[in-house]
Structures are given as structure tokens and as C-alpha cells.
Structure 1
């Protein structure tokens, strides 16, 4: 109002001249407000202050996600790909609440049962923060704790405990927090509970795939993967390679046998012999070809995984390849990220459809085929028999309504 008088607006309205461009803009703004008041219907409780609030409190209008309201989540745990799924769920939860997700802490170690032994690692030590926001702009948004204006304006939201917390209750709670205005008064909603993002999802596969596409490894880890792939292919005449994610560890075999009994199937576990036979029987597999065995470090001393391969299939694992020193420099999470990238880039990938690691590799390879229909990224599941006792062709069903198949595995894979 002070500006109005400084511009001699009263004189102007009486017929005087207006020379200031700034004053013209002010007058135009006032005119718009007056017209809006006259012609728009009055809503109960509507005040002009609400317009100011929306304008000031939504700096990210246009990008789709508010950058002044935040969601905070606990440290994300378990294996690399379970952590990626949990991270995506946290992102999609923040999106549902129209909030920016505060950059979470991941877990470098795998002591998932001993919470006190977990080794935290910042998200931006594994994935590129700015690249994530650039690729996911308008869909989901990551923020830093330095973005908070008042760290005390926090609302704690208990999200239940593991499988006891049902999907229905989870969704009802999220919907309530997304529509009740009193919750919106808090700058930050802090989710509390034991591993709240390991169990439930309410979003289609394509939403998860979008988040995964925005996850780009930091240069250091990507360059280590480059070194491993270079060793696999060779330097003189680069060879194609098949990456096989071998799940034959003792703890896996115990788990999968129990799972087979519970699901009344025999298509989860696979022995070394069966895996080698299925890979050998891949249709149109050209030889010679390098076979990279992505296996747990504790199996590197087991020479049997390198034996029994058909002539023309040249098997390598980290030690024989001479890259184990690369992996030993890093904690578990980084080792797994390197192996994931090596499997992702393979000419052919063969994995287990009940493995989260294998499932996410296939999802990304499926995405690559969708983006570039002229390039093939064939993938197979060795635990499900296909043609001529080879492995079953495997692509991710991107139209699935949730991530159930990828989170917990299935032998009903798309081909």
C-alpha cells in the first residue's frame, strides 16, 4: 500500500499520468485481485492470506514436488537391491505426500540383524545427488538437511513394524497424512519404525523403474566397473560375455529349499551343475564366449564353480580375473554395486528369478530394450527351464501394478 501512495496512485485513478513501469505493474496486480474477488465464487474459509501462503510455501511449482516440505526416513538396510527398493518406496511415499525426501543414509555393511553393527554410508557416496534430481525432476525430489529452515518443526509418523503392518493400514495412513491440513503445518514428517520401507508398496512397476533410472553411480564406482568389464572383454579383440549371477551359497540353498516347500514348487533352487547345463543350452549362444560368474566372495576359494563348463565357455570369477583387489578396497555395498553394473552391461545375463539382485538387473535391461528397440539385452532365469532345457527367457512385465514379483520373486516370468 505504501508503494501505491508513493506512486501517487490516487492521483492516477483520478485521471493523472502514470510514468513508473513499476507502478503500472502494481496497479495491474491490484486490478486482477479486484476482478477475481468480483467474479469468482466465495469459498467458506477463503482468505487472501491463503493465496500468499500457497505462493510462498510452494517454491517448486512447475516441478511438481514442494521443496519446502520434507520427509525424513530411517537408515535404509539390507542388501544393495533391497536398499534400492526401499529407497524408491521412500521416494514414492514422499511424492504421495507432495514432499521432498531428505537424503537418506544407506548401509555399507550387511549385518541386517545386528542393527548396532550397521555401517552407515551417505546416499551421495554411492549415487550422484544432483544427477538424481535432474533425471527425476518433477517426479520425485531429494533434499539435504541444510535445506531445513527449522529442524524442530517435525511430526513423527509411526509406520508399523515389518509384516505386522498391513498394506491397507499403511496406505490409509499415507492418504490421511496427504489430505489432513494439520499435518501440512509441519515442515518435516519423520517416519519412525523398524525398517518401514522393506515390506509394503502401493505403486506400479513403472514408477519404481522411473526412480531406478535416476540412480547413477558416482564416478569412482562406475570407473571401477569399467575396469572389471575391460578385464572381462580383453584389450586386443574385445569378446562378448555372459554374466551369471550364481546363487549357490549355503545360506541361500537353505532359504530357497524352505521357500520351495512353502510354495510347493521345485523352480527356485539350482545346483552348480544345473546352472552350467542351462547356460550351455542357451539358444544361439555363440562360442567362444567369456562367462563371468557373479558370486559371493566366500565362494571364490571353491574351484568347482570354474569346472565343468563346456568347451567354448570360458569361466572367470573375481580372483581368476585378477580384479579381487578392486573389490577388497570397498565395503559390501560398493562391491555389490560394481557387480551389479558388470551384470547390467553384459551381452547376456542369466540369473535367478527369486533373487532381488537378478530381478532388478533384468528390470533395467528391459528398460534399455524399451528405450532402444534396435538393441537387444537378452536375459534368462536359470531356475526356470526353457526351450531345450535351457534357461527361460526373462523380461520384466512393466505393466505390473506393484513390485511384488521383483521384491519377493516368482517363477511366472514374462518371456
Structure 2
């Protein structure tokens, strides 16, 4: 108020010989006053989830570079780890802090925590690209940025059925200010931090996942595997007497040979789990046998044949080694051994193997998965995001590109159900735990 009175007073003061300088001074003071008035309204909006701004401008509040969130080592499967990482990023964003680069888990011994093999985030994903892609939304920080001027504030996260979404959100609101906010680092502690209740919409998760780029060494392995798949497709077409450039216009570069990727969930651990799941839910649209999957995939007409079908499967848990046999004419099935890429996978820990397979599936011309699999759900989420980026909000109809299907759900035409992620969903529940209520929108 005093500043405003001083501004009014200044207007009545006769200007000295340099009016331009005085006018400039008045503009600066006015901007300071404007910032003081507007900032409180920008800092927190009605939803308490949005309203964070790009820190590249000093006039608006952004993700702070001097305040941090630290989380325990993230464990379980690749896609559970990706969900946990995204949840940590969004929690840090809610608290207006940078997330200290977490450790992931290279192995899958989720019950024997002492057997877990920690691996830093930047050994799997590109740290610099992540921050560049997510600039203004979330930010990763290195531990070298912490000055250690204050002791970390330990924030206990609850888990289990008693720890509800409402309780978790109330806790975050409480610690957004006050004692916790004075600390340089808020250290989140507790069992299974990836099981925090979910407050964030699917589109926010999609944005985090879209910022993830594989580390260069792993990306190179993905390129090798996809090249092998496309080479196999070219060979199959040559043997069938079909020229790949038959329909190419003169002077144009031949497009790469297309392929189908199938996330074939028939491993022994999955079959035990899904049978129990079907019994509890009184549903028959969760499990699928090898024969059922082959039958469903054979009904897809998006790609002209012959076409290579890459089978993404956990080989070490597979009891049936005949998954490449029994396919219909024109569908040439390959898994890692037949494709000749086992050496690429065998030299990698579990997490990297999964990361390679994820990208091979996500970049396929057609993807077929199980709607109760977290892996399949996140692949479809990635592909849906790409379709949205291309201005396509629906994959209904034939040959729309980047088609995805769920082989465990029967579509209107009797084949597998076309599948896109519902980007308007306010919770990740369906993606984390699966659903047969899917469509092509």
C-alpha cells in the first residue's frame, strides 16, 4: 500500500532534466508492484495440482533449483519403475522442487531387497534429454547440486489400504509450506514408495513418459534389434516374390519394412496369476493361450503379407518353446533366438532387456498386447501420445497407422479389440491394474 502511495506521489513530482530516466524508474517500480500483487495468485491455483511455471523466467514461480525431493531406490518391473519414477516427478512438481536423480533396480528380486542391483537413472535413460524435453514441467537434479546446508526433512509416506488418496493429498498440501519447505531436501521414506495413492491424471504421466529417452548405448541396441526384424521381413517378402518397392513412386525412398509386435503373455508366472484373477473377477477376458493369441493376431489386416511378427516374451519364464510355430500363412513369427539377437539381450540385466523390448513394441507398425498387462498398457499409452501429437484422436477404422490391439478382448468384428488409451482419465488405476473396458475412441 505504501508503495502505491509513493507511486502516486512520484507522479506529482516535477521531472528533472532527464525525463526518460525517471519514466524508466517508474516502469521498474510498477513492475515490482505488479509482481507483488500477481505472484500469490499464480503460485497456487484452485486444483492445487497445476499452476507451476517454467523457471526460465524470473517473474514467474517455477520448479526451484535449490529445493529437492529425494526418494528411495525404485524397485519391481520396468514399467512399475517408470510409474514410480513419474509419480516421484509429479510429487516433486507439486511441492515445487527438483527431483534428485533416483536409483532404479536392474534386477527383479523384489522380495529380497538385499539382492536388488541398484542402477542409476542415467545408466538407463538420458538425463540431459529428459530435462530438455520436460523443461518447465518437472526437473531432475544431481546430488552434486545439494549444498547440505540443512538436514533433510524426512517425510513418511504411508502404504496399504488405510493410506487413501485423500490422506496422501492432505499430507502433500500440509508439507508444501512451513517446516518441510524450509529444508533444502525433503527425503521421502517408507516401504514401497511406488505404491503411493494416485492423484495425477493420465495426461501428466504421459508427458513424463514422453520425456524419457534411452541412454545412447541402449538406444543403439534397440536399433540393432529393429533392423534385424525388418531384415527378416524383407527376406520373407523376397522369398514370396513380392518386391518391397512395388508401390513406391519413382524417385522416392523406400519406407522400412513394417512389422507387428506381440506382447505374448503366456509365461508360467503370468498364467497362474491371471487364472486366479479371472476367478476373482468372474471374467474370461484376462488370460489367453498361445492358440488364442495366434488366432486373434491372424485376423488383423492392417499390413499386407507376408509380415514379420515379433514376439516379446520373457524367455526365461517360458515353458512352451514352440511359440513361433502354428502361425497362419503370411505371418512369419520370430522371437529373440530365431531372430539371432540373444547375444544383445544376454549381456544385459533384466531392466535393460525390458527397456529394449518396450521400445521394439512401441515403435512397431502394429502392436498387440494384453489390456491387463502394465507393460502393454504403457506401450499403448506411448503410441496413443504419438497419435495425439499427429492430430489423431482415434484409431478406429483400418490403416490409420500405429494401430494397437488387445488380444484378450473381442472386438465388434470378432477379432482383437482396437485399443487407444483414454487420455482424459483422471487416474492411472486402469493402466496400472488393467481393464477390459477399452476402445479405439
TM-score normalised to structure 2 length: 0.80
Counterpart residue number, 1:288 = 306
Deviation of residue 387 (structure 1)?
3.7
Instruction: Map residues 123-202 of structure 1 onto 2, 5 A cutoff.
Output: 123-150=121-148, 152-178=150-176, 180-202=177-199
- Deviation of 1:201 after TM superposition, in Å, equals 1.1
Cα distance between partner residues in 1 of 2:224 and 2:323 = 23
Distance in 2 separating the partners of 1:218 and 1:162? 34
Structure 1 pair 266–187 and aligned structure 2 pair: CA distance change class (3 A): same
Aligned residue number for residue 73 of structure 2: 75
* Alignment map for 1:79-118 (pairs within 5 Å): 79-118=77-116
Is the aligned partner of 1:407 residue 2:432? yes
Give CA deviations for 1:187-224 in whole Å, capped at 9, x if unaligned: 11000001122342101111001101100101111110
Q: What CA distance in whole angstroms lies between the structure 2 residues aligned with 1:118 and 1:284? A: 42
Contact 1:300 1:319 in 2 (8 A): no
Residue 365 of structure 2 contacts residue 403 of structure 2 at CA under 8 Å; is this kept in 1? yes
Do the aligned partners of 1:242 and 1:292 also contact (CA within 8 Å) in 2?
Answer: yes
Aligned residues: 380
Equivalent position of 1:212 in the other structure: 209
- Assess, with a 3 A threshold, how the Cα gap between structure 1 residues 29 and 126 changes in structure 2: closer, same or farther: farther
Whether the 8 Å contact between 2:158 and 2:196 is mirrored in structure 1 is no
Deviating more after overlay: 386-395 vs 84-93: 386-395
Question: Over aligned residue pairs, what C-alpha RMSD do you find?
Answer: 2.8
Quick check: 290-299 or 118-127, which moved more? 290-299
Task: Give the drift of 1:390.
Answer: 1.3
* CA shift in 2, pair 1:188/1:379, >3 Å: same
**1:161: Cα distance to partner?**
2.9
Q: Does 1:330 align with 2:328?
A: no
Residue deviations 1:19-50 (CA, integer Å, cap 9, x gap): xxxxx89x9499939x96xx98xx9xxxxxxx
8 Å contact kept, 2:107–2:350: yes
- Secondary structure of the structure 2 residue equivalent to 1:32: helix
Q: 2:285 aligns with which of 256, 267, 274?
A: 267
What is residue 10 of structure 1 aligned with on the other side? none
SS at structure 2 position matched to 1:161: coil
3-state SS of paired residue (1:160): coil
Deviations 1:226-279 (A, max 9, x none): 000000011865532110001111111111111112222111011111101100
How far off is 1:115 after superposition? 0.7
User: Which of these residues, 359, 364, 382, is aligned with residue 341 of structure 1?
Assistant: 359
Q: Structure 2: which 5+ runs fail to align?
A: 1-12, 41-54, 235-243, 245-255, 393-399
Separation in 2 of the partners of 1:63 and 1:219?
A: 33
Match of 1:66 in 2: 64
2:196 and 2:183 map into 1 onto residues whose CA distance is 26
Cα distance in 2 for residues equivalent to 1:311 and 1:272: 16
Residues 378-415 of structure 1 deviation map (CA, whole Å, 9 limit, x = unaligned)? 00000101144311000000000111110111000122
**Cα distance change on mapping 1:285 and 1:291 into 2, 3 Å:** same
Which range is displaced more, 142-151 or 307-316? Answer: 142-151
Q: Secondary structure at the match of 2:73?
A: coil
> Which residues of structure 1 form unaligned runs of 5+?
1-12, 19-23, 44-57
Question: Partner of 1:277 in structure 2?
Answer: 295
